[in-house]
Amino acid sequence: MTISYSPCFRPLKVFPRSNHIRSSGTQTFKRYNVVACTKKSHEDISLEAKVDFLLDNVKWDDKGLAVAIAQNVDTGAVLMQGFANREALSTTISSRKATFYSRSRSSLWTKGETSNNFINVFDVFLDCDRDSIIYLGKPDGPTCHTGSETCYYTSVDGILKHSEVEKNELAMTTLYALESTINERKAETSSSSNGKPSWTKRLLLDDKLLCSKIREEADELCRTLEENEDKGRTASEMADVLYHAMVLLSLRGVKIEEVLQVLRQRFSKSGIEEKNSRKS
Protein backbone atom coordinates (compact mmCIF):
# COMPACT_ATOMS: atom_id res chain seq x y z
CA MET A 1 0.00 0.00 0.00
CA THR A 2 1.50 3.29 -1.05
CA ILE A 3 1.64 5.93 1.64
CA SER A 4 0.13 9.13 0.37
CA TYR A 5 1.32 12.59 1.21
CA SER A 6 -0.83 14.34 3.79
CA PRO A 7 -0.65 17.35 6.10
CA CYS A 8 0.35 14.96 8.89
CA PHE A 9 3.74 14.43 7.25
CA ARG A 10 5.86 17.43 8.15
CA PRO A 11 9.19 17.83 6.34
CA LEU A 12 12.29 18.13 8.43
CA LYS A 13 13.77 21.29 6.96
CA VAL A 14 17.16 20.67 8.50
CA PHE A 15 19.34 22.11 5.75
CA PRO A 16 19.00 23.05 2.06
CA ARG A 17 18.92 20.27 -0.49
CA SER A 18 21.83 21.88 -2.29
CA ASN A 19 24.02 20.62 0.56
CA HIS A 20 23.82 17.00 -0.59
CA ILE A 21 26.94 15.11 0.44
CA ARG A 22 29.05 13.99 -2.50
CA SER A 23 30.57 10.54 -2.32
CA SER A 24 34.21 10.64 -1.31
CA GLY A 25 36.62 8.12 0.09
CA THR A 26 38.30 10.76 2.21
CA GLN A 27 35.26 12.23 3.95
CA THR A 28 33.80 10.64 7.05
CA PHE A 29 30.82 11.88 8.98
CA LYS A 30 30.43 11.37 12.69
CA ARG A 31 27.21 11.88 14.58
CA TYR A 32 25.74 15.35 13.94
CA ASN A 33 28.78 16.43 11.89
CA VAL A 34 27.04 17.55 8.71
CA VAL A 35 29.91 19.74 7.50
CA ALA A 36 33.38 18.26 7.13
CA CYS A 37 35.49 20.96 8.78
CA THR A 38 37.37 21.35 12.03
CA LYS A 39 36.15 24.82 12.95
CA LYS A 40 32.41 25.19 13.50
CA SER A 41 30.72 28.41 12.56
CA HIS A 42 27.69 29.82 14.34
CA GLU A 43 25.48 28.31 11.61
CA ASP A 44 26.99 24.84 12.15
CA ILE A 45 26.30 25.00 15.88
CA SER A 46 22.77 26.19 15.20
CA LEU A 47 22.22 23.32 12.79
CA GLU A 48 23.53 20.79 15.28
CA ALA A 49 21.16 22.19 17.89
CA LYS A 50 18.27 21.84 15.45
CA VAL A 51 19.15 18.21 14.77
CA ASP A 52 19.39 17.52 18.52
CA PHE A 53 16.01 19.17 19.08
CA LEU A 54 14.50 17.14 16.25
CA LEU A 55 15.85 13.83 17.58
CA ASP A 56 14.60 14.66 21.08
CA ASN A 57 11.08 15.14 19.72
CA VAL A 58 10.77 11.81 17.93
CA LYS A 59 8.70 9.36 19.97
CA TRP A 60 11.17 6.48 20.12
CA ASP A 61 9.84 3.22 21.57
CA ASP A 62 11.18 1.61 24.74
CA LYS A 63 14.12 0.25 22.73
CA GLY A 64 14.91 3.66 21.24
CA LEU A 65 13.54 2.75 17.81
CA ALA A 66 10.94 4.01 15.34
CA VAL A 67 9.61 2.49 12.12
CA ALA A 68 11.41 3.91 9.06
CA ILE A 69 9.88 3.52 5.60
CA ALA A 70 11.70 4.23 2.34
CA GLN A 71 9.47 5.66 -0.40
CA ASN A 72 10.27 6.49 -4.02
CA VAL A 73 10.26 10.28 -4.40
CA ASP A 74 9.13 10.08 -8.04
CA THR A 75 6.44 7.39 -7.97
CA GLY A 76 5.34 7.19 -4.33
CA ALA A 77 5.98 3.43 -4.30
CA VAL A 78 6.97 2.01 -0.91
CA LEU A 79 10.40 0.43 -1.30
CA MET A 80 11.17 -1.11 2.08
CA GLN A 81 10.59 -0.83 5.82
CA GLY A 82 13.07 -1.01 8.65
CA PHE A 83 13.82 0.63 11.98
CA ALA A 84 15.82 3.71 12.90
CA ASN A 85 17.28 5.00 16.14
CA ARG A 86 18.67 8.47 16.87
CA GLU A 87 22.00 7.76 15.23
CA ALA A 88 20.44 6.19 12.12
CA LEU A 89 18.20 9.21 11.56
CA SER A 90 21.08 11.61 12.21
CA THR A 91 23.27 9.70 9.75
CA THR A 92 20.53 9.76 7.12
CA ILE A 93 20.17 13.53 7.49
CA SER A 94 23.91 14.12 7.16
CA SER A 95 24.79 11.57 4.46
CA ARG A 96 21.50 11.69 2.52
CA LYS A 97 21.64 7.89 2.28
CA ALA A 98 18.80 5.87 3.85
CA THR A 99 20.25 4.42 7.05
CA PHE A 100 18.59 2.01 9.45
CA TYR A 101 19.24 0.18 12.71
CA SER A 102 19.57 -3.60 12.55
CA ARG A 103 17.89 -5.21 15.54
CA SER A 104 19.51 -8.59 14.82
CA ARG A 105 23.06 -7.17 14.56
CA SER A 106 22.53 -4.29 17.00
CA SER A 107 24.26 -1.89 14.62
CA LEU A 108 23.60 0.75 11.96
CA TRP A 109 23.41 -0.20 8.30
CA THR A 110 23.03 1.88 5.18
CA LYS A 111 20.88 0.48 2.39
CA GLY A 112 23.24 -0.25 -0.51
CA GLU A 113 26.45 -0.60 1.49
CA THR A 114 26.99 -4.08 -0.03
CA SER A 115 24.91 -3.92 -3.24
CA ASN A 116 25.60 -0.25 -4.11
CA ASN A 117 21.83 0.15 -4.58
CA PHE A 118 21.66 3.14 -2.27
CA ILE A 119 18.48 5.08 -1.59
CA ASN A 120 19.39 8.74 -2.03
CA VAL A 121 17.23 10.71 0.38
CA PHE A 122 15.75 14.03 -0.78
CA ASP A 123 13.59 14.69 2.25
CA VAL A 124 12.56 13.10 5.55
CA PHE A 125 9.05 13.19 7.02
CA LEU A 126 7.61 12.39 10.44
CA ASP A 127 4.01 11.35 10.88
CA CYS A 128 1.58 13.37 12.99
CA ASP A 129 2.34 11.31 16.11
CA ARG A 130 6.09 11.59 15.45
CA ASP A 131 6.60 7.87 16.00
CA SER A 132 7.31 6.78 12.41
CA ILE A 133 9.60 8.11 9.70
CA ILE A 134 9.56 8.27 5.90
CA TYR A 135 12.77 8.50 3.88
CA LEU A 136 11.64 10.03 0.59
CA GLY A 137 14.31 9.22 -1.94
CA LYS A 138 15.55 7.93 -5.26
CA PRO A 139 16.87 4.34 -5.41
CA ASP A 140 20.04 3.60 -7.39
CA GLY A 141 18.72 0.17 -8.29
CA PRO A 142 16.47 -2.65 -7.06
CA THR A 143 15.75 -2.20 -3.36
CA CYS A 144 15.00 -5.80 -2.40
CA HIS A 145 17.83 -8.33 -1.97
CA THR A 146 15.85 -10.62 -4.31
CA GLY A 147 16.38 -8.15 -7.16
CA SER A 148 12.87 -6.73 -7.06
CA GLU A 149 12.31 -2.98 -7.28
CA THR A 150 10.49 -3.09 -3.94
CA CYS A 151 10.44 -5.51 -1.03
CA TYR A 152 6.65 -5.66 -1.32
CA TYR A 153 5.88 -8.17 -4.06
CA THR A 154 3.61 -10.77 -2.44
CA SER A 155 -0.05 -9.96 -3.06
CA VAL A 156 -2.39 -11.17 -0.30
CA ASP A 157 -5.40 -10.88 -2.62
CA GLY A 158 -3.49 -12.89 -5.22
CA ILE A 159 -2.82 -15.67 -2.74
CA LEU A 160 -6.42 -15.73 -1.49
CA LYS A 161 -7.93 -15.73 -4.98
CA HIS A 162 -5.40 -18.11 -6.52
CA SER A 163 -4.24 -20.22 -3.60
CA GLU A 164 -3.12 -23.01 -5.93
CA VAL A 165 -0.58 -20.73 -7.61
CA GLU A 166 1.61 -18.44 -5.54
CA LYS A 167 2.73 -15.68 -7.88
CA ASN A 168 5.01 -12.81 -6.96
CA GLU A 169 3.61 -9.43 -7.98
CA LEU A 170 5.21 -6.09 -7.24
CA ALA A 171 3.20 -3.72 -5.09
CA MET A 172 3.01 -1.00 -7.70
CA THR A 173 1.40 2.40 -7.96
CA THR A 174 -1.36 2.78 -10.56
CA LEU A 175 1.05 4.25 -13.12
CA TYR A 176 3.57 1.46 -12.58
CA ALA A 177 0.85 -1.18 -12.94
CA LEU A 178 -0.39 0.41 -16.18
CA GLU A 179 3.16 0.64 -17.52
CA SER A 180 3.75 -3.03 -16.69
CA THR A 181 0.58 -4.10 -18.51
CA ILE A 182 1.47 -2.06 -21.61
CA ASN A 183 4.97 -3.56 -21.66
CA GLU A 184 3.48 -7.05 -21.43
CA ARG A 185 1.33 -6.32 -24.48
CA LYS A 186 4.40 -4.94 -26.24
CA ALA A 187 6.29 -8.19 -25.61
CA GLU A 188 3.34 -10.16 -27.01
CA THR A 189 3.40 -8.26 -30.32
CA SER A 190 6.55 -10.11 -31.38
CA SER A 191 4.77 -13.48 -31.24
CA SER A 192 1.94 -14.59 -33.48
CA SER A 193 -1.39 -15.00 -31.76
CA ASN A 194 -4.82 -16.10 -32.84
CA GLY A 195 -7.89 -13.96 -32.43
CA LYS A 196 -8.47 -10.24 -32.46
CA PRO A 197 -5.60 -8.20 -30.96
CA SER A 198 -6.28 -6.03 -27.93
CA TRP A 199 -6.61 -2.25 -28.35
CA THR A 200 -3.21 -1.75 -26.73
CA LYS A 201 -1.60 -4.16 -29.21
CA ARG A 202 -3.25 -2.36 -32.13
CA LEU A 203 -1.83 0.94 -30.90
CA LEU A 204 1.62 -0.58 -30.45
CA LEU A 205 1.58 -1.92 -34.01
CA ASP A 206 0.28 1.23 -35.70
CA ASP A 207 2.16 4.50 -35.06
CA LYS A 208 -0.30 6.58 -37.09
CA LEU A 209 -3.29 5.23 -35.18
CA LEU A 210 -1.57 5.90 -31.85
CA CYS A 211 -0.62 9.49 -32.69
CA SER A 212 -4.07 10.26 -34.06
CA LYS A 213 -5.65 8.94 -30.82
CA ILE A 214 -3.32 11.05 -28.64
CA ARG A 215 -4.27 14.18 -30.61
CA GLU A 216 -7.96 13.24 -30.49
CA GLU A 217 -7.97 12.59 -26.73
CA ALA A 218 -6.00 15.78 -26.02
CA ASP A 219 -8.57 17.78 -28.00
CA GLU A 220 -11.44 16.17 -26.08
CA LEU A 221 -9.71 17.03 -22.80
CA CYS A 222 -9.47 20.69 -23.83
CA ARG A 223 -13.13 20.72 -24.82
CA THR A 224 -14.15 19.78 -21.27
CA LEU A 225 -12.78 23.18 -20.28
CA GLU A 226 -14.07 25.09 -23.28
CA GLU A 227 -17.56 23.61 -22.95
CA ASN A 228 -17.59 23.68 -19.14
CA GLU A 229 -18.25 19.94 -18.78
CA ASP A 230 -18.38 18.26 -15.38
CA LYS A 231 -15.24 17.21 -13.49
CA GLY A 232 -15.89 13.52 -14.04
CA ARG A 233 -15.69 14.04 -17.78
CA THR A 234 -12.39 15.90 -17.41
CA ALA A 235 -10.93 13.11 -15.29
CA SER A 236 -12.07 10.50 -17.83
CA GLU A 237 -10.55 12.36 -20.78
CA MET A 238 -7.30 12.92 -18.89
CA ALA A 239 -7.14 9.17 -18.18
CA ASP A 240 -7.47 8.54 -21.92
CA VAL A 241 -4.69 11.02 -22.71
CA LEU A 242 -2.42 9.47 -20.08
CA TYR A 243 -3.05 5.91 -21.22
CA HIS A 244 -2.37 6.61 -24.90
CA ALA A 245 0.68 8.71 -24.04
CA MET A 246 2.09 5.86 -21.96
CA VAL A 247 1.71 3.50 -24.92
CA LEU A 248 3.86 5.96 -26.90
CA LEU A 249 6.40 6.04 -24.04
CA SER A 250 6.63 2.26 -24.17
CA LEU A 251 7.31 2.35 -27.90
CA ARG A 252 10.04 4.93 -27.32
CA GLY A 253 11.58 2.95 -24.47
CA VAL A 254 10.91 5.73 -21.94
CA LYS A 255 9.85 4.78 -18.41
CA ILE A 256 7.19 6.76 -16.57
CA GLU A 257 9.71 7.21 -13.76
CA GLU A 258 11.92 9.21 -16.14
CA VAL A 259 9.00 11.54 -16.88
CA LEU A 260 8.23 11.99 -13.18
CA GLN A 261 11.88 12.75 -12.49
CA VAL A 262 11.86 15.51 -15.13
CA LEU A 263 8.76 17.00 -13.47
CA ARG A 264 10.40 16.90 -10.04
CA GLN A 265 13.52 18.63 -11.36
CA ARG A 266 11.35 21.45 -12.68
CA PHE A 267 9.84 22.22 -9.26
CA SER A 268 12.68 24.53 -8.34
CA LYS A 269 12.48 26.48 -11.63
CA SER A 270 9.99 29.01 -12.86
CA GLY A 271 8.14 28.12 -16.05
CA ILE A 272 10.02 30.84 -17.95
CA GLU A 273 13.43 29.61 -16.75
CA GLU A 274 12.59 26.03 -17.65
CA LYS A 275 11.42 26.96 -21.14
CA ASN A 276 14.53 29.06 -21.79
CA SER A 277 16.75 26.18 -20.69
CA ARG A 278 15.31 23.99 -23.45
CA LYS A 279 16.46 26.41 -26.15
CA SER A 280 20.11 26.31 -25.09
Could you please report the per-residue DSSP string of 39-52?
A: S--HHHHHHHHHHH
- Homologous superfamily assigned to 44-139: Phosphoribosyl-AMP cyclohydrolase (3.10.20.810)
Task: Please answer whether residues 173 and 164 qualify as being in contact, where contact means their C-beta atoms are separated by less than 8 angstroms.
Answer: no
pLDDT confidence of residue 46: 78
Beta bridge pairs of residue 121: 137
The pLDDT tens digits for 156-169 are 877 787 655 555 56
Q: What pTM value is reported for the model?
A: 0.65
The pLDDT tens digits for 175-229 are 888 998 999 999 998 876 667 889 999 999 999 999 999 999 999 999 999 999 9
Chain CA centroid to CA 273, Å: 25
Beta bridge pairs of residue 137: 72, 121
Closest C-alpha among 113, 95, 123 to residue 267:
123
Report domain extents, the chain.
44-139, 172-188+197-270
Distance CA 235, CA 218 (A): 12
CATH of domain 172-188+197-270: 1.10.287.1080
Distance CA 248, CA 257 (A): 14
Task: Please answer whether residues 140 and 117 qualify as being in contact, where contact means their C-beta atoms are separated by less than 8 angstroms.
Answer: yes
